[in-house]
Structure 1
Amino acid sequence: MSCPPLLRRRPQDTDALGDLAHGRLHPVGEVAHEVAERIRRDDTFAQFVRFVLVGGSSTAVYALLFLSLQWLGYLPAHVVATVASTVLANEMHRRLTFRAEDRVGWLTAQIEAGGVSLFGLVATSVALRWLDATVGSAHPLLQITLVAAVTGFIGLIRFIALRWIFRPTGTPAAQ
């Protein structure tokens, strides 16, 4: 059963909702609004923040796929999870991080970013093979942690490549 006083409460009875009704934001909402406005810009810092957010979300997709495909063995699970999460990340970077969907086609983005990702796939596969050779059957969370660490480093290289090397000619990079 619902609490009767809550059913009778009007939005203006609460500070946060009442402020919203009058066009004012709660202090936490003001900070969130400022942060959102800051990362919507197209300067290097904002693009890097968006790059990290996309990278984090695609790493979460990788982890879910890797864990669900463990029955294939660590290497096949790693390859499938990497390819799927990379294609997703490339598209999100094209649309969200660099806002290049009108300048760069899907296939071009996959080829350009995929080349750097291929290097990452080789590096993470070598790291996983090293872990397997030294530790034996490592816990999947240790494997994911290793892949995330190597991927973080490769991600920095990827950001530099996508931001300054693979931008269309005639399009200056935002400072």
Structure 2
Amino acid sequence: MLRAEWPDRLARVRRFLRGDHAVAQLIRFALVGGASNIAYVLLFLACDGFGPLAANTIGSIVSTVIANELHRQLTFRAAGRVGWFTAQWEGGGLALIGLLVSTAALAGLESLAPGLGRLAQAGAVLAVMAAAGGLRFLALRGLVF
């Protein structure tokens, strides 16, 4: 490939990622999710002196607020249509539902397959979290933003 083609390809990728179609939104959703997970870890570590339960609660709440706002402004570009409070209330509610469903699924897995190895458990956790994330994306896209 010629070096002169790279700027054109890069410009096309940027236009694609800035689009409002579902694939571009899903990519932005995943990037925001990754950023909010990093924020969670940093907050958890910063608040560790309060104990793990408080650090988890603070990290979860603050990173969810950050993610909801980034989804409102960047992922779905809904800042002009959806207010901050609505995004936090509805997005936070969806996050809580996702947490409850994923926790129930993992608890069910533990009771159905108590001897599952660590690698299989990690795979199951990833599958459950991916499914919860996918459902959250669809709900945010279809119901909130």
Higher helix share: 2
Q: Deviations over 1:28-85 (max 9, x none)?
A: 5444332211111100000001111111111110111112222323222111101000
Length, aligned pairs only: 129
Identity %: 42
Higher relative contact order (CA 8 A, sep 6+): 2
Q: Paired residue for 1:42, among 20, 34, 37?
A: 20
Is the contact made by 2:91 and 2:140 (CA closer than 8 Å) also made in structure 1? yes
Q: Partners in 2 of 1:66 and 1:153 — Cα distance?
A: 24
Is the contact made by 2:87 and 2:144 (CA closer than 8 Å) also made in structure 1? no
Give 1:69's aligned residue. 47
Q: Partners in 2 of 1:123 and 1:80 — Cα distance?
A: 21
Shift of 1:151: 4.7
Is the contact made by 1:94 and 1:101 (CA closer than 8 Å) also made in structure 2? yes
User: Which amino acid is 1:38 matched to?
Assistant: F
Q: Deviations over 1:81-131 (max 9, x none)?
A: 01000001100100101111111000011111110111244467787xxxx
User: Which amino acid is 1:162 matched to?
Assistant: L
Give 2:144's aligned residue. 166
Q: Partners in 2 of 1:123 and 1:74 — Cα distance?
A: 22
Q: Partners in 1 of 2:51 and 2:100 — Cα distance?
A: 17
Q: Paired residue for 1:118, among 88, 96, 101?
A: 96
Listed as ranges, the gaps of 5+ residues in structure 1 are: 1-24, 128-144, 168-175
User: Which amino acid is 1:119 matched to?
Assistant: I
Q: Partners in 1 of 2:15 and 2:71 — Cα distance?
A: 18
Q: How does 1:17-36 map to 2 (within 5 A)?
A: 27-36=5-14
TM-score of the superposed pair, with normalisation by structure 2: 0.73
User: Which amino acid is 1:34 matched to?
Assistant: R
Q: Deviations over 1:115-174 (max 9, x none)?
A: 0111244467787xxxxxxxxxxxxxxxxx99x94654432221010111234xxxxxxx
TM-aligned CA distance change 1:77 to 1:153, over 3 Å: farther
Q: Partners in 2 of 1:78 and 1:32 — Cα distance?
A: 39
Shift of 1:27: 4.9
TM-score of the superposed pair, with normalisation by structure 1: 0.62
